[in-house]
Chains A and B, each alone.
Chain A
Amino acid sequence: MRLRSLVIGAAIAVLAIVTLSSALYTVAETEQVIITQFGEPIGQAVTQAGLHLKTPFAQEANIFEKRWLEWNGNANQVPTRDKKYIGVETYARWRIADPLLFFQRLRDEGRAQSRLDDIIDGETRNVIASHDLIEVVRTTNRAFEKGEEAEDIMEAESMREIELGRNKITRLILEHVQHVVPDYGIELVDIQIQRVNYIESVQAKVFDRMISERKRIADRHRSEGQGKSAEVRGKKERELKVIESEAYRKTQESMGKADAEAATIYAQAYNRNPELYRFLKTMETYHSTIDKDSWLVLSTSADAFRYLQAQNAVAGAKAAPAKR
């Protein structure tokens, strides 16, 4: 019968397609597969990408990621050893290293995420709580460049030397977690502290501290300016005195030298005839002392007027100028 063969043919074709699609499965580059037979895992994981065969219907392909997977932590409020409340956000990258174990212990990614939450958050809290804040913030003990501000501005606490630093602390968390997760078929590749922040109430206090710190720095600059300008003014005063006194010394020196030289010259000349000098100088004084207000009372016995007397009058009388 034509129709019957048609129906049977169709049925066989459908069956073949269903069987084939159940026997064939593809594995992407990003995937790995665990084959289970009635729920029981069979053999090792299939990690080679491509087209694969399995027993149809009885076996099931369970697909897992082969790539690095994300785990992003929530902001944890943790007190540090020095009682600073901070919010710490970490992230981790992990992969399913042993799909069989992963499948047996966790079954799916969702459960893995929540297990990682427990483990990593816990370890992060432990490690942060047993270290000071500065250890989480700084990585090395490098000295800060002191720009415009001096070292006493820096908070003593923040200048403390660190023992571990951020990198070693994250490694500490990583090591602790790496210890635990292989039980779940998970390999933890890296953990990083993504963010560290003060919690809000602490932050306000930190801002206050920053403000007062800046105020101190500003005051310092101002007084430094006053000090420096006073210094410059002092230098100016000193130099003025130096300049003036040096000028005075030099003038006195050269004037004195000239006076001395002049005295020598006069002495040399006048010593040739002191009597004549006295006479001439006296004559000169007459010129300067007698003026129109002077009274001259002269005797006829004076030299100049002796001829007013008799011819034989005594010579040698002196003129006696009198100044009123």
Chain B
Amino acid sequence: MANRNAGFDPEEFTRAARELGARLRESRKLLVIVGLVIVGLAAVWGSYYQIEPDEVGLVTRFGRFVRTTGPGPHGKFPFAIERVQKVPVQRQLKQEFGFRTLRAEVQSSFHKDERTQAESVMLTGDLNVATVEWIVQYKVSDPYKYLFRMRDVEETFRLMSEASMRTVVGDHSVTELLTVGREAIAAKAKELLSNMCTLYDNGISVQQLILQDVDPPEPVRPSFNAVNQAIQERERAINEAWAEYNQEIPRARGLAEQKIQAAEGYAVDRVNRAKGDAQRFVALEEQYRKSPEVTRTRIYLETLAAVLPTAGKKLIFDEKAKGILPMFPLGPGQEVKP
């Protein structure tokens, strides 16, 4: 109801004001109605809020926390009297270190730059350098503390995560970090981070801490691969030696067994033959004892009968015909040995 047409003449001023007043009186009802409708709509709109299934709403009245509301439609005092802040308590939240997921799809794409690189480079306990990438999954366990205890909870949580990961990695050798120690390191870092959350009382509960790529720094990577190669080489050399061993030893065992068996065969053969020969001799000797002369002569003559025909040349002469030198025609190339 301000008056902008202020003039020097008071009469003019009053007349103008009266005119304005009359016009206003005419439209006042309409103005009031429109104003009330607008205010009413704003009040209704400002009184209603909805909480999604995975959230809770924290209501503050003139800045003071008054109540927590669960999922569903709710009412509150409109305008600045009551405000609601929504916190996703059921949702599992995630922070990534050393990389950022650009799009999570079947084939997710990742992004790395200098900033994420700085997150992942750290010193190991043996004063080597490694790049460690990991993720932390967490939930808001206490929305009141989450909202009101700490400014920029999420960023602080990132720093806490980095500090605890570096603390744990700083107590392991680079070899442990790259091979056997992975699980222990993740578990230890998670424990440390949880303890820190308790200490900071920030209303966050750590669900999981998972190590992603853990690598030696880029310039050193080939020599780490060379170590793996050397390990393979070592295994191969040893395996080859054992293969040779396994090829030759059983064969040698078999051959040895064969020789032993053959010797045993020889032994049996030898003894049996001896026994046979002996029995034959004994049997003959028994008969011989009964008539030695005849048997002896018989054997002698039988032998001669068998042997004489086989001899190539035979010469029979009388002892009494002395002086006659027996003459033998020697064949060519044949010599007489004395």
Could you list which residues of chain A lie within 8 angstroms of chain B, going by C-beta atoms? 2-3, 6-7, 10, 26-31, 48-51, 65-70, 72, 91, 93, 133-134, 137-140, 142, 144-145, 147-149, 154-155, 157-159, 166-167, 189-190, 192-198, 203, 206-207, 210-211, 213-215, 217-222, 224-226, 228-233, 235-236, 239-240, 243-244, 246-248, 250-252, 254-255, 257-259, 261-263, 265-266, 268-270, 272-273, 276-277, 279-280, 283, 286-287, 290-301, 303-305, 308-309, 319, 324
User: Would B288 and A276 count as touching, CB distance under 8 A?
Assistant: yes
User: Would A269 and B282 count as touching, CB distance under 8 A?
Assistant: yes
User: Would A70 and B274 count as touching, CB distance under 8 A?
Assistant: no
User: Would B125 and A138 count as touching, CB distance under 8 A?
Assistant: yes
Shortest beta-carbon distance from A204 to chain B in Å: 8
Shortest beta-carbon distance from A200 to chain B in Å: 11
User: Would B217 and A194 count as touching, CB distance under 8 A?
Assistant: no
| B52 close to A (CB within 8 Å) | no
- Using CB atoms, name the residue of chain A closest to B219: A207
| B70 close to A (CB within 8 Å) | no
| B167 close to A (CB within 8 Å) | yes
Could you list which residues of chain B lie within 8 angstroms of chain A, going by C-beta atoms? 1, 14, 17-18, 21, 60-65, 118, 121-129, 147-152, 155-156, 159-160, 162-163, 166-167, 170-176, 179-181, 199-200, 216-217, 219-220, 223-224, 226-227, 229-231, 233-238, 240-242, 244-245, 248-249, 252-253, 255-257, 259-260, 262-264, 266-271, 273-275, 277-279, 281-282, 284-285, 288-289, 296, 299-301, 303-304, 306-308, 310-319, 326, 328, 336-337
User: Would A215 and B122 count as touching, CB distance under 8 A?
Assistant: no
Given contacts A257-B267, A299-B317, contact A29 B274 (CB under 8 A): no
Given contacts A70-B152, A221-B227, A228-B237, contact A269 B200 (CB under 8 A): no
Beyond known contacts A193-B166, A210-B223, A225-B235: 5 more, CB 8 A cutoff: A137-B123, A247-B255, A258-B266, A300-B319, A308-B316
Measured CA separation A220–B172 after assembly (Å) = 22
- List 18 A–B pairs whose Cβ atoms lie within 8 Å, in order of A's numbering: A3-B21, A29-B65, A50-B61, A69-B151, A140-B171, A144-B173, A194-B162, A195-B166, A196-B166, A196-B170, A211-B219, A240-B249, A243-B249, A250-B260, A283-B299, A286-B307, A291-B310, A296-B308
Measured CA separation A157–B270 after assembly (Å) = 77
Measured CA separation A142–B63 after assembly (Å) = 50
Given contacts A26-B63, A206-B127, A266-B274, contact A297 B326 (CB under 8 A): yes
User: Would A296 and B315 count as touching, CB distance under 8 A?
Assistant: yes
Cross-interface CB contact of B150 among A67, A148, A232, A286, cutoff 8 Å: A67
User: Would B170 and A139 count as touching, CB distance under 8 A?
Assistant: yes
User: Would B234 and A225 count as touching, CB distance under 8 A?
Assistant: yes
Measured CA separation A272–B216 after assembly (Å) = 95
Measured CA separation A263–B275 after assembly (Å) = 10
User: Would B223 and A157 count as touching, CB distance under 8 A?
Assistant: no
Measured CA separation A145–B241 after assembly (Å) = 29
Shortest beta-carbon distance from B158 to chain A in Å: 9
User: Would B316 and A287 count as touching, CB distance under 8 A?
Assistant: no
User: Would A49 and B316 count as touching, CB distance under 8 A?
Assistant: no
Q: Is the interface of A mostly helix, strand, loop or mixed?
A: helix
The interface residues of chain A lying within 8 Å CB-to-CB of B306 are 287
Cross-interface CB contact of B328 among A192, A229, A295, cutoff 8 Å: A295
Cross-interface CB contact of A138 among B171, B244, B257, B307, cutoff 8 Å: B171
User: Would B270 and A206 count as touching, CB distance under 8 A?
Assistant: no
Cross-interface CB contact of B159 among A91, A159, A296, cutoff 8 Å: A91
Cross-interface CB contact of B237 among A30, A133, A225, A246, cutoff 8 Å: A225
User: Would B252 and A244 count as touching, CB distance under 8 A?
Assistant: yes
- Using CB atoms, name the residue of chain A closest to B155: A70
User: Would A297 and B317 count as touching, CB distance under 8 A?
Assistant: yes
Measured CA separation A125–B180 after assembly (Å) = 35
Shortest beta-carbon distance from B75 to chain A in Å: 20
Shortest beta-carbon distance from B133 to chain A in Å: 15
The interface residues of chain B lying within 8 Å CB-to-CB of A301 are 318-319
The interface residues of chain A lying within 8 Å CB-to-CB of B180 are 145, 147
Cross-interface CB contact of B256 among A68, A222, A244, cutoff 8 Å: A244
User: Would B173 and A154 count as touching, CB distance under 8 A?
Assistant: yes
The interface residues of chain B lying within 8 Å CB-to-CB of A193 are 163, 166
The interface residues of chain A lying within 8 Å CB-to-CB of B264 are 254
- Using CB atoms, name the residue of chain A closest to B21: A3
User: Would B21 and A27 count as touching, CB distance under 8 A?
Assistant: no
User: Would A324 and B296 count as touching, CB distance under 8 A?
Assistant: no
The interface residues of chain A lying within 8 Å CB-to-CB of B179 are 147-148
Measured CA separation A50–B62 after assembly (Å) = 5
Cross-interface CB contact of A296 among B150, B226, B314, cutoff 8 Å: B314
User: Would B252 and A254 count as touching, CB distance under 8 A?
Assistant: no
Shortest beta-carbon distance from B298 to chain A in Å: 11
Cross-interface CB contact of A137 among B60, B127, B230, cutoff 8 Å: B127
User: Would A155 and B175 count as touching, CB distance under 8 A?
Assistant: no
The interface residues of chain B lying within 8 Å CB-to-CB of A276 are 281, 284-285, 288
Measured CA separation A157–B313 after assembly (Å) = 104
- Using CB atoms, name the residue of chain A closest to B277: A266
User: Would B307 and A309 count as touching, CB distance under 8 A?
Assistant: no
Measured CA separation A81–B49 after assembly (Å) = 60
Measured CA separation A157–B308 after assembly (Å) = 103
Measured CA separation A296–B125 after assembly (Å) = 105
Cross-interface CB contact of A229 among B14, B172, B240, B296, cutoff 8 Å: B240
User: Would A292 and B311 count as touching, CB distance under 8 A?
Assistant: yes
